[in-house]
Chains A and B, each alone.
Chain A
């Protein structure tokens, strides 16, 4: 029977071949989209694995031991580009070689990634910042082709200050931790993407359904058993579906260059990372084939034997009512779940979204029927034909437009969720630095070296008022205050702080902090950094103090400085009850007038101070906004994928609908209908329901977005434009598809079929 089915599928001439090719392509596209989705996680894991050696936190040996390597990581900036700098040091050649470099860099030598090499070429001020460039870092250490990574050499004692010493490198890295809202966005996005992909796959087996149903009816009449009919149906779709399954990985390979370009966490992907694996690929292809065959069999089971070409079992009126009640119940359940999800339950939010999707799917045919009834009342033959089609075949009409509906629903919903989620992730408001000022973190320099740096910085054109700062914490009953110990006037000039009046007492406290310390006779400062830099885990030198006190008498106040990078208290070193020389500075602050001056200053500091980073308002903002940017990256990627899948669904379904009805159009033309009338009816029967269904989905999406982000104002203005675009593209697709009516009704094969 399988053979008979295959014989039937290839015996239909050119139209059957066109349908088979379309089926194969649609299955291939569906399979490829699923493979793309499933390749993201392995790609992120592959990235994490290659970067694992730069993010170690557990040493297994003492620094300097033979056969070890010490690794420390820091961050550098070129403009707003974040460069990961990994400092490595080995006492001998017995230790492991960092992946991606041909040999261990000696102190002063560096290997850079191709993207960093490009940055160095474009920014002469950066030359020498990381040492002498000895070669390139290979892909084995890079997260992506445009990853910014420097592997530089250093003496062991320097790297050991904040490094980890190991005898081997880990091969498995942790995946990025997802926050609650990210998990919610990811879950909703996956569900939203799964719906049109499932639709696309289901459409693939419906392409030649009318012809198959006609055949099935004839075969049923001559006595084919249900089992034989099932086998024949499978045989009919097996060849194109299998061809699609074979083509799927090829389409996936064709999509890879585009998908790999999508930036995530600052870098695009290596194509080789985007591999779901052989077992997953085989499982996906088997599942797609299985779903297609099941869909074809299920669809054909509703056909019954008849003397007329094909007769479908009519939908009982009772079933229509059941569907309506189910849709209503699902909508109510969605509302209930949304009420629960406002208390941040991801599962209930996803369930609410699924219920809303199901309710829309169930009520869609009734909506299309209702639109059809309205169209029928309009004047003109085209409106009558379109209206009748909508009323008689609402599900077939709904098929191409449901992908558009999902796209609209998701767009308007994420338009509300994403900014709210980003606001919850984005800590950019905590950045207090002024524009044109910089803070150079120099955690491991001596006082003399810091003073030297300040002198050198002062000579750089465009760098103003550099000064050193010793940092500490102030003990408070409800937490700690940030204290900067240094010259207040110098700090004021370098940081351009608002409302900073240094006064004459040498102790300046922010207004908020001043309210807390009222009544305290002295402030206790701790976390002072000893004059001699030492490894973080080294035992502190007991001869040097790490606590100091300052009397509060006569303190002056300043405007409270917002931001975690700004001080609550500024203390003149002379007021400390210890020798200030026993404490080393860990911060150099300065102002700058040009980006060139900033880069020169960065090169100066970072090339002389281990693990130094020069931060500006822009880079601190970038650092704090990483989670938000990651969310935007993911949502952007999902939106593009959803748009592509929905567009494919729309185009395939619109074309397939016309091919399936070519005989009806031919009869209508033979009966004297004008081509323009038929084309108008095609446009009306596609465009009107897509607009109505799209608007209903938009309203549901707005409601869901509003409910999921209570207290936030819905960004209605930002939603109008993308929704309009989606609907305009959908209407344009239907308009273009109407042009097919002419060629299809001219086909000689249609006449003789």
Chain B
């Protein structure tokens, strides 16, 4: 792929990307959220069109007009978001779009089930029947079906975008086995993942991307993690994040959570947060941190447990109650849950404040606008004018708008899930600075993030979760990438950071 550019409204997603790989290679593609990895492979797979640039496949120019072209050219993609139909069976999902035929447009259902069974066997999956409906499967199983989809077709190039996000450890090993097999038979694999341990286990070479640009391609053999991380980050972590705070442990914690559990949380969780510290909740995709955040904010109903603020027990039964108690929440699905895209920026920013103040009667729009403008200036939000619709802002500015609307409510507790996903570098730094200022002013800030670099750089104390339970608690001084990563993959650690026995194989990496 040469000189690929891609634009979305408000965002220059890919800036002249050059990317190439050889046959029989397992190429890892790494980079932070929003670096452009998914966009790049969607262009390769015919889902998006590149605005500029070209793709050369096996020596010939390749311009897929739709996903079918890519599939016919031997490219198979396992996307990050599932593209499964809940009301169709596993076999039907696997073969959608390339059903085996039997004349006159009929499907060969027998062949479909046979083919599906074969693929599932290859993946050594015992508990999924090809005739099961996808809506009845667990998230783990859904991921396996997605992988099966790609394997069911004979491809020469398979792209896997975060294929292990929802997988259990044994399934991950099975997948690696298959990748090795495929490589042997001449298939090229592009493997996108956040989990650097995996990169080192199966990758031949690794390419790092950042903010829509290609940084470097390095051979995995002989590479050490530090170099890789440095390459990915591109600049010294120290400059990028504001300073840390170490708090006096004897001061009473402001927020105490005891045995909290909602109906979607696997286990009960307890922790304490002091005023003035940025508290981080981290883990791998699916670790339960997001569910915990949502329970705190009242989005999911609390089944058991207590929360108390400054010594007083509080009950958060709904987002409205949370808001009135002084909570604020930024969801990780910015577009679906954070903004009203068709509404003007000013409207988006005004709503929580209006709800909190319980306005009846006519609004004082002049006053509202004045407060909004103050906040816009303070956060340096760049928008053509405040009546512009929120969908036209860049990702960074959109996030600032969402942040601003909660700040306007003068919340005491701010919960942010993935604060800088898909945001440019400058805005990231600004947001980090803002969060620090907030804690200095006495606001409690809880950050949920799966971005290791961010968690280590930003948070003063870190809680690591794995499958819903706490596997590690660190301060910024005791945390390191190794210890946090280990805890995130489920390895319990002692206070020195040594792996506690018994530990699964993957902890020994």
Q: Do A and B bind each other?
A: no
